[in-house]
Amino acid sequence: MPLSFYVLDGLFRRVLRQNAGVPWAVHHTATIRTPQRLVVGQGTFPGDSPGVYINADNGVYIGDFTNLGPRVGLLSANHDVVDNTRQAAAAPLRLGRFCWLGMGAVVLPGVELGDFTVVGAGAVVTRSFPAGYCVVAGNPARLLRELNRDDCDAHAQRTYARHVARH
């Protein structure tokens, strides 16, 4: 990342207190609400893309080496349909390892995406795909194709090996 990214990150988090509770660098246009309820795996830096919005009020788990494209929305909470001043109860949102969410994708409360789930740009994920190893897209998101599990697992092994060698 260019130096200006880190300068802006410091300005927004330390001076303006935007995303101040997030322990990694985030883009100055990203918003992470309730960062203490956001759990991330290794090699994962949600909010480093522009315009990302994460509402972790009810908990969000993001697995190892998962990437969020620009303007992705992860929502773990919603409003009560009768009284929109109150939050409705919702299960935590879970993204597995090695997921990729394309630009403008939105994942709604309680959804679980298994390892190696690719979410197409602009998709609205309203239900879980816990088995993973797939590509989903559309509104509402639907299964487009399954991925080769052996290829994905070999990629994961190579990635973990490189990560361990660097650290």
Structure tokens at 33: 């609400």
The amino acid at residue 159 is T
The per-residue DSSP string of 59-76 comes to -EEE-TT-EE-TT-EEES
Q: Are strands 31-33 and 78-79 parallel, antiparallel or unpaired?
A: unpaired
CA 22 – CA 36 distance, rounded (Å): 8
Sequence-ordered list of residues with C-beta below 8 angstroms from that of 4, at least 6 positions apart, any chain: none
Tell me if residue 27 is catalytic: no
Q: How many residues does the chain have?
A: 167
Which one from 27, 28, 79, 163 is the annotated catalytic residue? 79
Sequence-ordered list of residues with C-beta below 8 angstroms from that of 37, at least 6 positions apart, any chain: 56, 57, 58, 59, 60, 76
Q: Which residues are catalytic?
A: 79
